[in-house]
Every structure is written in structure tokens, then in C-alpha cells.
Amino acid sequence: MNIAVLGTGVTGQTIGTKLVRLGHEVMLGSRDPAKPSAVTWARDAGQHALYGTFQNAADFGEIVFNCTLGSASLEALQQAGSENLRDKILIDTSNPLDRSSEIWTLTVCNTDSLGEQIQRAFPDSKVVKTLNTVNANVMVEPTKLTEMTDIFVSGNDLDAKATVVMILKDWFGWRKITDLGDITTARSVEMYVPLWHNLRNAISAQRFNIKVVTS
Amino acid sequence: MNIAVLGTGVTGQTIGTKLVRLGHEVMLGSRDPAKPSAVTWARDAGQHALYGTFQNAADFGEIVFNCTLGSASLEALQQAGSENLRDKILIDTSNPLDRSSEIWTLTVCNTDSLGEQIQRAFPDSKVVKTLNTVNANVMVEPTKLTEMTDIFVSGNDLDAKATVVMILKDWFGWRKITDLGDITTARSVEMYVPLWHNLRNAISAQRFNIKVVTS
């Protein structure tokens, strides 16, 4: 499948590499048509790894991963172009973080979320929020943790969520996937991120996740 | 030990009953000097179970649990009186929830928290935020879940946190207790509550908690 990955940071490269290894054609998109980090990634990741602008990538992909920084996501998606995102599944892994001070804060929360903002800005796309609660390595290699942990999906389109659940399960190896509900539930997974950050500091590790345990 | 439990709802009664069974003298405090739910609780919980006003309870307790609704906590603590809370450990289990609509929101978050508001309002008390991430039953019976899960403490006073860790461990049975840092980290555990609420809806259960799993 042709897949667009918007964003050339650690998350974009990690997901892009995983998808190439699974046999997909992947185009990493950025503002710059030949961003050095994307060029290097494509050279190292093999012949199915491509790069281009946000617009090139969105046009190329049948499915689109948003792996840009939350602070840049809406602008990146505008550059990608609503016509190139129309009717497509848009998997949103981003977080609306302000990391300018030691205590991370969110630029939107509580009564709105970045996931909702994206869905409102691109009403003809099928936004599914997922994977934003874990580090990039855990996103694509959940089985490397010592136990199976939980991942969540939020979105308005049931078919799109079913496809994303298949991707999480069959491609990335997730086993415990909980559908939290419509895109408004993106608020809760984004608001979890400050706890993720405090846990990261407390346990001095980035590769971790939470497992939901019942009685 | 003489312990004050402010709030006569499910959380206050559950914690109060557990403390009485552990052999402590417990006074449940409320606005009303003889609130029916507190009178009934005291009659059923045995001779070490007392009730009174917020002020009576805070004066009585060597340690104070805040189990009032977050929306009423600051007022309840004002009624308890700063002189009765001075130098005492104030264990804050409350959440600043607005439950007036189907989607729960917080009345304070992101750049402040109820834990911090309480600490600022009562600078001579030692506020330790904990237990707000689980249901009342799980608070005092964590071992009834199928696996040991995680609980968190936030607060400025290290000795107070050490005492609270002892209470969580020796009295309530918690084994995995993570010190997240000073009282500003209360933001993150309060902001986790919307995810708790969505999980509760998704799994149709209230008795659950999260376990942190590493690589």
C-alpha cells in the first residue's frame, strides 16, 4: 500500500521504517521538498522509501499518518491540502505540547483537543487518534515491553477505526486495543501525556506504557 | 491514630471504614454536624467511628483525608479551618470535575491543579495528592485487582510523602508507589481522570487501574 507519513522527526522516521519493512511504499513528507533528514532516511530505509513535500506525500498516500509536532500539525496538514486528504484515513499520533518550560503543558485541552481541531479543519477526512500515548519505539514494537499493554483509538468513522485497529494489530503487533469512542475522546489521551512525562522522569525511561488491569 | 476524613460520600465512607477496621479512631466530617449519611456510617462502622463538622474532624485528626467533591473541597477545607490543618498531612484524593455534561471536564487543569490550589490556600499544611486516579474500592483494596497496579504521590514535603507512602503500603496494600515530584505534578494525575472516565465507559467497570510496564 502507498502510505504517507507527515513529519520527519523520530516518530515519522520510526513509523516510516516499520512500514517499509512491512513491504509498503512510504513517502515521508515535510515542508522542505528535500529535507536532509528525509533524504538520509530514504537512502537508508531502501527503495520503497520516498520523500517529498507534505503535499507530495498526502497525494501519494492511500492512508496518511500525522507524525508532525502538535504545534505544527494544522499548518502541515493545510500544506498537505484538504483535496489530498479527502476521504482518506488520517492517523493522528501528535500531541499539542508546549515544551518550552520544564513542566509540559498542552496548547489545547479539556474542552477541545488537537484531534478534534484536525477533524474540524478536514471534515472530509477520517481522523483516528491513536499511538500518541507512547514513545515512537513502543508505537511500532509494543511486544518489546515485558507485558502486553494497552493502546487506544478515538474517531468518528467506525470503518476507519476498524482499519486502524487492523493496522495496529497486524502490522505493529498491538493486542489490547480499546475504542474509546468518537473524536472527542482524543481529549483524554492527549491529557494523559503530562502523566506520561512525569512517569518518564520518575522511572528514567521512555520505553514504557500502561496496562489496564481489572478485578 | 486519630484520623479525619472530610466528606461523607462513597470515598469518605470507604476510606473511613477501612481505617476503623485497621484500629484507628476516625471522624467523618461534613458541613452538617449530624449528616444522616455520616450518622448511619458511624452506627454501622463501630465504636471507633465518629462524625462531626469539618471543623470537629480536622481538629480531631492527626492526619486529614480530603474526600470531598473537588468542586467543594476548598470551601470544605476553609470550614475545617487552617488552624486545625496546620502542620498536618492533608491527603488530597479529590478531583476538580465538572460532571454536568456527558463529557467530563476539569474546572482547573494544565497550568494549575486542585492539589496546588489547596496547597496555596493552606501553606502551613503538607498536602499530598494521591489515590485520585482510582475508584474508592480500589483505593483501599488494590490487591483485589488481578495484578498489582500503580499509584502515585505528589507533594512538596518529603517527610509527609514518606508517611503517605507508608500508609498506602502498610495500611491499604499498595506495592507500586511512584513519587512523581512536587505538588505541581498533581496536574498530571488530575488530567488523567478523563481517560479513566473513558476507560470506565469502554470496559463497563469501575474497579480497574493502570500498571506501568517497562521494557
* DSSP string of B11-43, one letter each residue: HHHHHHHHHHHTT-EEEEEESSTT-HHHHHHHH
Q: Which residues of A touch B202 (CB under 8 A)?
A: 178-181
pLDDT tens, N- to C-terminus, chain B (215 residues): 999 999 999 999 999 999 999 999 999 999 999 999 999 999 999 999 999 999 999 999 999 999 999 999 999 999 999 999 999 999 999 999 999 988 999 999 999 999 999 999 999 999 999 999 999 999 999 999 999 999 999 999 999 999 999 999 999 999 999 999 999 999 999 999 999 999 999 999 999 999 999 99
**Residue B6, C-alpha cell as written in the block:** 472530610
- Within 10 angstroms of residue B120's Cβ, the number of other Cβ atoms is 12
Q: What pLDDT, on a 0 to 100 scale, did the predictor assign at position A183?
A: 98
Q: What span, in angstroms and rounded, lies between the C-alpha atoms of A11 and B72?
A: 42
Q: What span, in angstroms and rounded, lies between the C-alpha atoms of B95 and B173?
A: 22
Residue type, A120: R
Q: What span, in angstroms and rounded, lies between the C-alpha atoms of B35 and A17?
A: 63
B112: alpha, beta or left, given left = phi > 0 and alpha = psi -120 to 50? beta
CA distances from A58 to A52, A55, A131, B44 (A): 10, 5, 20, 65
Angle at B102 between CA A106 and CA A191, to 5 degrees: 15
Residue type, B40: T
DSSP H helices, B124-212, are 136-140, 158-166, 186-191, 193-203
Q: Which residues of B touch A138 (CB under 8 A)?
A: 215
Angle at A57 between CA A40 and CA A186, to 5 degrees: 105
DSSP, collapsed to helix, strand or coil, labels residue A129 as: strand
Q: What pLDDT, on a 0 to 100 scale, did the predictor assign at position A2?
A: 98
Residues counted in chain A: 215
Q: What span, in angstroms and rounded, lies between the C-alpha atoms of B7 and B91?
A: 13
Between B194, B199, B213, which is nearest A191 by CB? B194
- Interchain CB distance below 8 Å, B191 and A187: no
Residues counted in chain B: 215
Q: What pLDDT, on a 0 to 100 scale, did the predictor assign at position A114?
A: 98
Q: Is B197 on the interface with A (CB under 8 A)?
A: yes
Closest chain B residue by Cα to residue A204: B214
Q: Which residues of A touch B205 (CB under 8 A)?
A: 214-215
Structural domain spans, chain A: 2-203
Order of all β-strands in the sheet with B63-66? B49-53, B25-30, B2-6, B63-66, B89-92, B126-130, B150-155, B176-181
pLDDT tens, N- to C-terminus, chain A (215 residues): 999 999 999 999 999 999 999 999 999 999 999 999 999 999 999 999 999 999 999 999 999 999 999 999 999 999 999 999 999 999 999 999 999 988 999 999 999 999 999 999 999 999 999 999 999 999 999 999 999 999 999 999 999 999 999 999 999 999 999 999 999 999 999 999 999 999 999 999 999 999 999 99
Per the CB < 8 A criterion, the answer to whether B179 and B151 are in contact is: no
CATH 3.40.50.720 fits A2-203, yes or no: yes
Q: pTM (2 decimals)? A: 0.97
Q: What span, in angstroms and rounded, lies between the C-alpha atoms of B17 and A197?
A: 35
Q: What span, in angstroms and rounded, lies between the C-alpha atoms of A13 and A2?
A: 16
Q: Which residues of A touch B209 (CB under 8 A)?
A: 212-213
Q: 537508508: which residue's cell? A: A44
Q: What pLDDT, on a 0 to 100 scale, did the predictor assign at position B123?
A: 98
β-partners of residue A148 are none
Q: What span, in angstroms and rounded, lies between the C-alpha atoms of A139 and A136?
A: 5
Find residues 78-137 of chain B whose CB sits inside 8 Å of chain A.
103, 105-106, 109-111
Per the CB < 8 A criterion, the answer to whether A122 and A80 are in contact is: no
Closest chain A residue by Cα to residue B197: A188
Q: What pLDDT, on a 0 to 100 scale, did the predictor assign at position A188?
A: 98
**Residue B160, C-alpha cell as written in the block:** 509527609
- Interchain CB distance below 8 Å, B214 and A145: yes
Closest chain A residue by Cα to residue B144: A215
Closest chain A residue by Cα to residue B133: A195
The DSSP-derived string for A14-47 is HHHHHHHHTT-EEEEEESSTT-HHHHHHHHHH-T
Q: What pLDDT, on a 0 to 100 scale, did the predictor assign at position B110?
A: 98
Closest chain A residue by Cα to residue B189: A195
Q: What span, in angstroms and rounded, lies between the C-alpha atoms of A22 and A65?
A: 15
Q: Is A182 on the interface with B (CB under 8 A)?
A: no
**Residue A172, C-alpha cell as written in the block:** 505493529
Q: Is B8 on the interface with A (CB under 8 A)?
A: no
Between A195, A202, A211, which is nearest B211 by CB? A211
> How do residues B59-106 score in pLDDT, each as one tens digit?
999 999 999 999 999 999 999 999 999 999 999 999 999 999 889 999
Q: Is B212 on the interface with A (CB under 8 A)?
A: yes
Q: Is B145 on the interface with A (CB under 8 A)?
A: yes
Q: What pLDDT, on a 0 to 100 scale, did the predictor assign at position B134?
A: 98
Between A110, A181, A210, which is nearest B105 by CB? A110
Per the CB < 8 A criterion, the answer to whether A109 and A96 are in contact is: yes
Q: What pLDDT, on a 0 to 100 scale, did the predictor assign at position B15?
A: 98
B23: alpha, beta or left, given left = phi > 0 and alpha = psi -120 to 50? left
Q: 502490522: which residue's cell? A: A171
β-partners of residue A150 are A176
Q: What pLDDT, on a 0 to 100 scale, did the predictor assign at position A82?
A: 98
Q: What pLDDT, on a 0 to 100 scale, did the predictor assign at position A1?
A: 97
Share of chain B above pLDDT 70, in %: 100
Q: What pLDDT, on a 0 to 100 scale, did the predictor assign at position A162?
A: 98
Q: What span, in angstroms and rounded, lies between the C-alpha atoms of A39 and A33?
A: 9
Per the CB < 8 A criterion, the answer to whether B146 and B178 are in contact is: no
The radius of gyration of chain B's CA atoms, rounded to the nearest angstrom, is 16
DSSP, collapsed to helix, strand or coil, labels residue A16 as: helix
**Burial class (CB within 10 angstroms; exposed 0-12, middle 13-18, buried 19+) of B141:** middle
CA dihedral A168, A82, A41, A97 (to 10 degrees): -70
- Minimal Cα–Cα distance from A149 to chain B, Å? 7
